[in-house]
Amino acid sequence: MKLLISNALIVPMTQEGTYFRGDIGIDGKHIVFVGEADPGFVADRIIDGSFHIAMPALVNAHTHLSMGLMRNYKDDLPTLQAWLGEIFPIEDKLTEKDILIASRLGLVELIQSGVTTFADMYFHPQASAEAVLETGLRASISITLFGSLEENKTRVFDRERLLSPYVGRSEGRIQVDCAPHAIYTCPKETYQFAHSWAKDHQAILHTHLSETMQEVQDCLKETGKTPLQYLLDCGVLKDVKSLLAHCVHLTDTEVELLKGLDSTIVHNPSSNCKLSSGIAPISTYFQKGISVALGTDGASSNNNLNMFEEMHVASLLGKVYKPTGYTLHPYEVLSMATVNGAKALGLEKKIGQLKAGMEADILLVNTHASHLTPLNDPFSALVYATQASDVDTLLCQGRILMEGRKVMTIDEDQVIKDAQKSWAEVQQR
């Protein structure tokens, strides 16, 4: 099918300050032009972009999709470890069916906030992959590792087998990566195995790192090293692509070490605040040339998957805490949620920008709203004023996932009913 998005205010994310009024032509999965319409292009369908910003769909680079079942549960505990002490026992009760239902719930929320692509770390990844196929999004589905090497070897090979059919049916929308959870839940042998697996499969190693000061202090006490230095000395991260979630408490030495790695820090500002983990010095990372993407973490520690809210919080915290004095600009914050997120997942040749040849992952923001009037600077408007509810239309690979705020690929009401029932059953176990 050929689609034409006409007369939109286009924010292509190709260069800071660049935006213009124009058209976007889509043929099948791909963008064929951006800006001036090709006179020879005959569209099967025209989407009116008037009063809309057209921009790349968002990338949520770190989440635990199915944790939406535990939204608004065990909030306001003093530390991450105290919270995990309450969450882990509930997670032990979740079945594969619960995770399928919770994944659908999370995917509806992602669609409604303009996200087409996400990096997930959770149990029963085949259930999340099934929900991704149903809803039409794209994902990095990580095989999540906890505990000893021997049990994880079995888990990886089993999950790899279960995920393979979903990858084959996804038209390039699902990739399988590997996620040793954290240094306090996985011994070095598990990390080394994950590193080797990721290298052999040209996959991404996705992990939590330096999320809390307690994690750093415990690592120093047990190994004499900070978390990043510990992993590097174990032979981990040096020659694989990695996603490092949180990185709230990196030392200056660790920041310098990151420059030599193919690593992206994933900033999760709302979760970091809610769990009292701290404020990551993101402006410093930008100033040092380190790639930073954006994530929501799970909906049980956030308590939503709203990437527009995450951009807003990231921008504000980046102004409150700027050790070097460098101030984040709205374009940089938008880059975290688009270009940098795409690069973090190895998808920079497919998504993250609006230009000919890229896959048509596009969102339309309805600007005909009091809180977006006058628009003035669209970059500022997107970061400081836009709400998830302003996302009107979302496309992934040229397929319309939502239009006029109606999710097109799955029954939202049924998803909500199923999630309510599932959570009630979990609590009775």
Q: Residues with Cβ < 8 Å from 402, sequence gap 6 or more?
A: 111, 112, 391, 392, 393, 394, 408
Is 208 annotated as ligand-binding?
yes
Given pLDDT bands bounded at 50, 70 and 90, which one contains residue 323? confident
What DSSP state is assigned to residue 37?
A: P
pLDDT of residue 79: 86
Q: Residues with Cβ < 8 Å from 89, sequence gap 6 or more?
A: none
Is 329 annotated as ligand-binding?
no
Q: Any idea of the CA torsion for 383, 135, 339, 168, to the nearest 10 degrees?
A: 170
- Say whether 58-344 and 2-56+357-407 share the same fold: no
Q: What's the chain's Rg over C-alpha atoms?
A: 21
Averaged pLDDT score across all residues of the chain:
96
Per-residue pLDDT of 376-428, as tens digits, reads 999 999 999 999 999 999 999 999 999 999 999 999 999 999 999 999 999 88
Fold of 58-344: TIM Barrel (3.20.20)
Q: What 3-state class would DSSP assign to 219?
A: helix
Fold of 2-56+357-407: Urease, subunit C; domain 1 (2.30.40)
Which residue has 């997942």 as its token pair? 345
pLDDT of residue 322: 84
> How would you label 69-97 residue by residue, b for 16+ Cβ within 10 Å and e otherwise?
bbbeeeeebeebeebbeebeebbeebeee
Please say whether the beta carbons of 10 and 34 come within 8 A. yes
Could you tell me the strand order of the sheet in which 241-246 lies?
58-63, 115-122, 138-145, 174-180, 204-209, 241-246, 263-267, 292-294
Please say whether the beta carbons of 88 and 74 come within 8 A. no
Is 52 annotated as ligand-binding?
no
Please say whether the beta carbons of 257 and 226 come within 8 A. no
pLDDT of residue 9: 99
Strands of 275-425, DSSP E: 292-294, 362-366, 391-396, 399-403, 406-407
Please say whether the beta carbons of 231 and 269 come within 8 A. no
Per-residue pLDDT of 3-17, as tens digits, reads 999 999 999 999 999
The residue extents of the domains of the chain are 2-56+357-407, 58-344
Asked whether the predicted pLDDT for residue 80 surpasses 90, the reply is no
What DSSP state is assigned to residue 359?
A: B
Asked whether the predicted pLDDT for residue 66 surpasses 90, the reply is yes
Is 297 annotated as ligand-binding?
yes
**Axis-axis angle for helices 96-112, 125-135 (nearest 10):** 40
Is 211 annotated as ligand-binding?
yes
Distances (CA, A) of 354 to 55, 254, 322, 333, 339: 7, 34, 31, 17, 10
Predicted TM-score (pTM) of this structure: 0.97
Asked whether the predicted pLDDT for residue 115 surpasses 90, the reply is yes
Q: Residues with Cβ < 8 Å from 237, sequence gap 6 or more?
A: 195, 205, 228, 231, 261, 263
Rounded distance between C-alpha atoms, residue 64 and residue 62, angstroms? 7
